[in-house]
Homo-oligomer: A and B are copies of this chain.
Amino acid sequence: MAEPRITTSGNSSLPVYERALHAALDHATAEGCPPRLAKAMHYAVFPGGARVRPQLCLAVAAATGDYDAGLAGAAGAAIELLHCASLVHDDLPCFDNAHERRGKASVHHKFGEQLALLCGDALIVEAFSSLTRAAVATEQAHRLPALMACIAGGVGAPMGICAGQAWECEPEVDLARYHQAKTGALFIAATCAGATVAGADPALWRPLGDAIGHSYQVADDILDAAADASVIGKPTGQDVALDRPSAVRQFGLEGAVQHLRELVDASVDAVPACPGREQLQALVRNQSRRFLPKGLVVQAA
C-alpha cells in the first residue's frame, strides 16, 4: 500500500479521521456558538461508534495509490459526521423514539428535541464545510467537486440515506432500493471517496461499498432480533415493533446468518484490482466479522 503524505497537524496518536472530526467540531463550536448546541454536537460525535465508514474510506485510499492523508481523513470525517447526524435525527420521537444510542442517552433525550434537530442540521452542514476547508488546506481543491458528489450522493435524495429513511414513509416499499439507500449509500460514499482521494475512478469502487453496506444492514437486522440491548447500546426488537422490513423477518435467524456469510464473501470478491488488493480483502473480511458481537460471530462463522 502507498505511504500517505501527512498534512494534518494535532494529536498524532489519533487516526487521521479522528483528528479531522476534532478539527470539524472545533470549527463548528467555536466562539459565538450557542453553548448547548455546541455540547449537543460534541455529544453526538464523541465518543464515537466503530467508525467503520471513515476506516473504510482510508483503507480504500491506502489500497488504491498515492494519496493525501489529510484529505482522506477529512473525507472520512465528513462521512462520519453525516452518519452521526442521521443517527440523531433517526432517534427523534417522530422516527424511532430511541432513548439510548451508543450506550448513553440519545441526543434528544439528553438535550431536547429542538437541539437534536438543530444538532443534526448543523452536523450535515459541517460535513461539507470541513471537507471544503481540508481540500484547500491540503492543496487538493481540484478533488473537491468529485468528493462532494460522492459524499452528497450518499446522504441526500434521490438515493442517499435521507431517501432510504423516506422509504419507510411510503405505502409501497422497493426493498432493494430501501436497503441500498438507507445503509448502502454511505458505505458506497466511503469507498468512492477513498478512491477519489487517491485519484482513482470512484465508479469501480461502488460494488464494494454496496456489498459491505448490504452485509452491515443484514448484521444490523440480526443484532436487532438476537442481541441483548446492553451489548449493542441501543434498543433491540425495533424491526418487529416498528413493522420494518428486516432480513430476519424475511429469511428467519438462521437464514439471515447464512445470507450474511454469503454477503461477506461477495464483499471480499468485490475489491477491485489495485496495489493493495490482498490487504484490503483481509481487512474487509476481518471488519465484517466485527459487525456482530462475539457470541453471534461464532454462530455466523
A162 cross-chain contacts in B, Cβ below 8 A = 37, 118, 121-122, 125
Most chain B CB inside 10 Å of its own CB: which residue of A125, A135, A165, A169: A125
Given A115-B169, A162-B125, are A157 and B92 neighbors across the interface (CB < 8 Å)?
no
At the interface, yes or no: A145 with Cβ under 8 Å from chain B?
A: yes
At the interface, yes or no: A136 with Cβ under 8 Å from chain B?
A: yes
- Mark contacts of A217-234 with chain B using CB atoms, 8 A cut-off: 1 yes-contact digit, 0 otherwise: 000000000000000000
Contact B169 A37 (CB under 8 A): yes
Determine how many copies of this chain the complex contains: 2
Q: Is the interface of A mostly helix, strand, loop or mixed?
A: helix
CA distance A163 to B142 in the complex (A): 30
Most chain B CB inside 10 Å of its own CB: which residue of A34, A36, A149: A34
List 21 A–B pairs whose Cβ atoms lie within 8 Å, in order of A's numbering: A27-B158, A28-B156, A32-B159, A33-B163, A36-B170, A38-B157, A89-B117, A92-B117, A94-B117, A118-B165, A121-B155, A122-B160, A122-B162, A122-B166, A124-B125, A125-B156, A128-B152, A129-B148, A129-B153, A129-B156, A135-B145
Chain A interfacial residues counted at CB < 8 A: 61
CA distance A142 to B141 in the complex (A): 8
